[in-house]
Structure formats: C-alpha cells, structure tokens
Amino acid sequence: MARMGRHQQIIFFRTLFRASPVGAGLWWGLLLVGGLIPAVFALATGSVIRAVESDGSLAGPLVVIGVVFVAMQVIGPVHSAIGQNLGRLAADWMNDRLLRATTAPRGIAHLENPDLAAELSMARDFDLGITAPPLFVSMSFIAGGLRPLIAGVASAVILFGFAWWAPLVLVAGWGSTHWLLKESGVWKDRNTDPVRDAQRHADYAYRLAVDAPASKEVRLFGLAEWIVDRFARRRQHLYDLQWEATRLRERSVLSSLLAVAAANGLVFWRLAVATADGRVDIGDTVVYFISAISVSAIAFGGLNWALDSASAPAAAVERLAAQLHATDSLSPPIDSEGIPSAALGAGAHGVHFRDVSFTYPSASAPVLTDLSLGITPGTSLAIVGQNGAGKTTLAKLLCRFYDPQSGRIEIDGADLRSLDVDAWRARVTAVFQDFVRYELPLRDNVAPLGAPDEMILEALAEAGADDLADLDTPLARGYEGGTDLSGGQWQRVALARAICGVKQGAGLVLLDEPTAQLDVRGESEIFRRLLAATSDCTTILVSHRFSTVRLADRIAVVEGGKVIETGTHDELIALGGRYRTMYELQASRFAEVDEHGEEIVYDTLS
C-alpha cells in the first residue's frame, strides 16, 4: 500500500513536470528556497552574535537577516500563485490525457466495462472538488506539507557541525511521528472502495433530488423522503469512515511523545554540557539550539493527504492511458482477402453475417451464437425479436464497436475486419436506440461536422421535422433562446441526422427503433419517406412496430442468438411461425369492439 502510494506520488510529480516544465521547475525551486530559509536564518543569527562578541562588523549578518526576512514575505505569495497556475495546467493536462485515452480505442468496450467504471470516474471527476480539493487548491496544501520537511532536514544538516549523531537522533525522533501517527488527524486514504462507494451513492441521491430528469418521478412516486434518507445515511457512513480513519490513536500518541522527548532530551542535554564546558562558543550554541528546535518541522510537514488525493487520480489517468490503448476491443486488422478498403465504393453495400458468435467482454453468456444473415445491396431488412434478443448488438457489430469472437461479417464480400475502420464508418449512418441529444443548435444536431443549410433543411423535412425550430436555436433549455423538444421531436431530429448522413454519401443505414416515440400517423408516413430517402442504400431497421416492419423488403426474426425466420411479411405470415404469432399479438391490441358489437381493427397495420 505504502509503496503504491509512493509510486503514485512519483507519477504525480512527473505529471507536474509534463504539464509545465518551467512551472514545475519554478515551483520546486521556490519550495526549496522557502524550505531553506529557517536554516539560513539560524546561521545568520549565529553570525550576528559572533560579530557582537568579537566587536566585528554587523553589516554583513544584518543584511543577510534582512534579505531572508524580505524573502520570507515575498516567496509565500509568489509560490502560491505559481502553484495555483501549475495545478490548473496539470489538471488540464490530465483531462486532456484522459480525453485522448478514452477516445483512442476504436471500439467501445472500455466505456461499457463495469470494472473500469470506478477508475474512470476517479480520473474524470478529480478536479470537481467532490472527493478532494481541485488541484489548483491542493498545490498549496502539498507545498505546505513539503516545505517543513525541507526546513527540518536543512536544520538537521547544520547540527552535523555539533555532533554526527545529533541530527540522526532528532530526525529519527520527529520522523517517527509520521509512522506512529499515520492515519491520525488527517484522512489520508480516501480512495478505498467503501469510501468511493458511499461517495458515489451519496452523490447519486443528491443529484436525483436536485436535477431535473428525476423530478417528475420523485414527486409522483413520493420519493423525496426516501432520497433524503439515502443521502443522509451515505453521508453518515462517509463521516464514520472518516472518523475511523482520522481519530487520534492514544497509544501511538504516547509512543510519539516518548520518542520525541527522548531524542530532544538527549540532544539538548549534550548541547548544554558542551556549551558549559566551553567546547562550543555562544554563537554556535544559538545556531544549534535554533536548528534543533527547527528539526521539529519534520513532524508537522510530510507527504500529507493532499498529495495522496492528488496523486491517486494522476496515477489513475496514467493507468487508464496505458490500459485503454492496450485493451482496444477491436481485434487487429486482418489481411484483406477480398476487397481492400480503398475499393469500398459508393452506393449500397451488401452485408453478410456468417456464423457470427459474440459475447460481451464483461458477460459470460453469448448474445449471438452462429448467427447467419444476408442483406442484398440496396434493399431494406427489418430485424425483429424480443427485448434482449441481440438486435442492437448486431448494429454495434456492424459499426465495428466490437468484433465477433468467431464467424465473420462481410461487406461486399470483404471481411469487415480487413476494412479501414474510419473509412467504413464514413459509409454508415445510424439512428441508435439511445441516440444523443446534443445540447447544441438544431443545425449541429443534424450535421455535427457541418453540411450546407439546404441539405440540413431537406433532411429535416424528410424526417418530418421541418417546422421544429430555427437552425440556430439551441436544443436545450438553459441557453439563451434555447428550447427543449418532446421525445418524438427529438427522434425526428435524430432521423434527420441519419438522413443527412445518407445525403453525404453513406451506403448503409442502421435504424434502431427510429420511430418508437413517433405518433402512429407520423410513424408510417416518416418511414415511407425514409425508405424513399435511403432507396440507394442498404437499410437495416430494428423495430417492435409491425406496421413499420412490414414495409421492409425482408424481415428477419432473431431469437436465442440466431436468425430463426427470414422472408417478406407475406411469406412469414404464411409460414405461421414466430413472426406471425408476434404480429397477431400486436394486431389484436389495436382491435376494439364498437357499440354494435362489431370488431374494429385500427388501420395502423395496413
């Protein structure tokens, strides 16, 4: 544990140097100068006394004392300003490194891996002041811990002039307090699992209460008391942990007192004897006395909690940077046996899943087992299946967020793994089930990387979202002129984004529940328009709504990790299998009986 802590501290100081070599150099330089001041002061005092004794000139020693005195006043504020700046630069550097580390892997397994979640949140949130002060504040505490340590050691060095053993005895005596009183008085180890766990739960309860998203349920389900109680209990648990970690331990205090008293007693006694015997002159005696007292600074300084809590995230960032790159969920590119990526032509792509098996890295059960499915270029395929059947997973594999463990996905006959990932992704556009609602103007929501306004407006019109808002309107409340959209309106914006992708040249369109939140009339109308807009592409649609599904050229039913039925709507109805059962189940929900006892079937399925 201690070695790990030291290792983290080394990483932290390396981080400071990487973030700003000049800033870190200045910070260390002034820290050293500040730490040496008490020793210089002691030596200067000795010179004054010696000068007085020998009737020598006082000018030199007094100038030194004056300079030291002025330096003491000036160095503090300057050092703290440099420390603040350095802290900010280091935090930026760490944020930047984490940004690069998390965005570098081409796959997304690292962000969906529960084992990395705690490490990621520590590396991400370190500067928010939740578990420790922000780095720019911590730098003062860190300096405040190191300066006395330097001062104590420098004073000890002076004592070598008196006796070789004296500094060793004093440093050992005062230094032993660090070891004996560790974890007393200050809460050092905040990064334990119980602390992080209690912190995370307390924060979560707090956010449920104060943020907008949960406000409706909190009120409707009467959760306010429950949340406050959860928050209070987790905070109480945190305080208990803190109390346990930081209370003074009586026996250690007693041992520390004994060690310190013995060391000081010995040194001061020998010094007194030596002075009385005339072996040490009065000037030196004063210097040694002041120095012997100043060695005590060692006990009050040290590598304190601020350094520990600043070092932990610095080390986490480094670990993640190394780990994330090494554990990209994508397998290395394989030799292209078929079409090289350069030949990935424009237009619709043929897609073929061949015996694909896939298990999420953090799961034990496979989602897909030997799944095979072909899609002819330029056609649309709907995928249906129960919740958790693996439909979204198929879309993720097609985008190469993960690679299957066995089998292969072919694009126009070439193994997907042989294609350049970026080149391939440029050919794909999608509406994901959990599409992103960017807190940005409508224009950027449709084309985050930019597109001509006419194209954006066209895409919006084709998605039935032409009268939602001005292109410049931010789609978030809390911004000037900003507005929020309804669930279905947001879905239309996401559709417009996918359509814009088609207009910019995508050849494969993935639609994962793109119309789940649209009103019934809007849904079939938009889906028809969508099929028209994407007629030059291969379209894969995932939907639970059979009124949409039946419009696709072909339909595949996924169950138990495999495709169990494929065909057109009519073929699958005629087959009388799973598709027909699901279809009829849904159709019956739309049937009602009118006042004459006749069954009316709403027109949503025609």
Ligand X SMILES: Nc1ncnc2c1ncn2[C@@H]1O[C@H](COP(=O)(O)OP(=O)(O)OP(=O)(O)O)[C@@H](O)[C@H]1O
With respect to ligand X, which residue has the nearer C-beta, 94 or 367? 367
The CB-of-543 to Mg ion minimum distance in angstroms stands at 10
**Residue 290 or 398 with smaller CB distance to ligand X:** 398
Q: State yes or no: residue 256 binds Mg ion (CB under 5 A).
A: no
Contact 493, 446 (CB under 8 A): yes
Closest approach of Cβ 396 to ligand X, in Å? 7
Question: In this chain, which stretch among 88-96, 358-366, 480-488, 562-570 interacts with ligand X, using CB under 6 A?
Answer: 358-366
Q: What are the residues whose beta carbons fall under 8 Å from the beta carbon of 82, sequence distance 6 or more?
A: 23, 26, 27, 30
Q: What are phi and psi of 466, to 5 degrees?
A: -75, -20
| Nearest CB to ligand X, comparing residues 107 and 302 | 107
- Segment interacting with ligand X (CB under 6 A) among 142-150, 360-368, 479-487, 522-530: 360-368
Count Cα atoms within 13 angstroms, Cβ side, for 268.
Answer: 13
Question: Given 3-state DSSP classes, what are the helix, strand and coil percentages for the chain, each rounded to the nearest 5?
Answer: 60, 10, 30
- Min dist CB 544 to ligand X, Å, is 7
In the complex, least distance from residue 210 CB atom to ligand X, rounded to whole angstroms: 29
Total residues interacting with Mg ion, rule: CB under 5 A: 2
Choice between 112 and 203, CB closer to ligand X: 112
Interface with ligand X in residues 95-134 (CB under 6 A) = 112
Between the alpha carbon of residue 479 and those of residues 445, 450, 475, 482, 505, the distances in Å are: 15, 21, 8, 5, 33
Strand partners, 441: 474
Q: Is 305 exposed, middle or buried (0-12, 13-18, 19+ CB in 10 A)?
A: buried
Residues 171 and 179: their CA atoms lie apart, in Å, by: 13
Residue at 52: amino acid letter: V
- Shortest distance in whole angstroms from residue 414 CB to ligand X: 25
Q: Which does residue 363 touch among Mg ion, ligand X, none (CB within 5 to 8 A, set by kind)?
A: ligand X
- CA dihedral (244, 249, 252, 254) in degrees, to 10, reads 170
Closer to ligand X by CB, 287 or 556: give it: 556
Question: Smallest gap, in angstroms, from Cβ of residue 340 to Mg ion?
Answer: 33
Closer to Mg ion by Cβ: residue 46 or 514 = 514
Both tokens of residue 513? 């529940």
Beta carbon of residue 552, minimum distance to ligand X (angstroms, whole number)? 16
54 binds, among ligand X, Mg ion, none (CB under 5 to 8 A by kind): none
Contact of 583 with 546, CB cutoff 8 Å: yes
The residue from 113, 357, 359, 433 that contacts Mg ion (CB under 5 A) is 433
Question: 552 by DSSP, 3-state: which?
Answer: coil
Binding mask 372-401 for Mg ion (x = CB under 5 A): --------------------x---------
Phi, psi of 147 (to 5 degrees): -60, -50
Minimum CB distance to ligand X smaller for 102 or for 393: 393
Please compute, for residue 460, the number of CA atoms within 13 A of its CA located in the half-sphere on the CB side: 23
CB nearer to ligand X: pick between 359 and 379: 359
Tokens of 195: 């602390």
Residue 415, φ and ψ in degrees, nearest 5: -65, 130
Interaction partner, residue 388 (Mg ion, ligand X, none; CB < 5-8 Å by kind): ligand X
C-beta of residue 110 within 8 angstroms of C-beta of residue 102: yes
Contacts with ligand X in 380-409 (CB under 6 A)?
385, 387-393
Q: By CB under 6 A, name the one of 17, 187, 300, 360 that touches ligand X.
A: 360
CB atoms within 10 A of CB 231: 19
Spatial distance between the Cα atoms of 376 and 520, rounded to a whole number of angstroms: 29
Q: Using CB under 6 A as the criterion, which residues of the chain lie in contact with ligand X when the complex forms?
A: 112, 360, 362-363, 367, 385, 387-393, 433
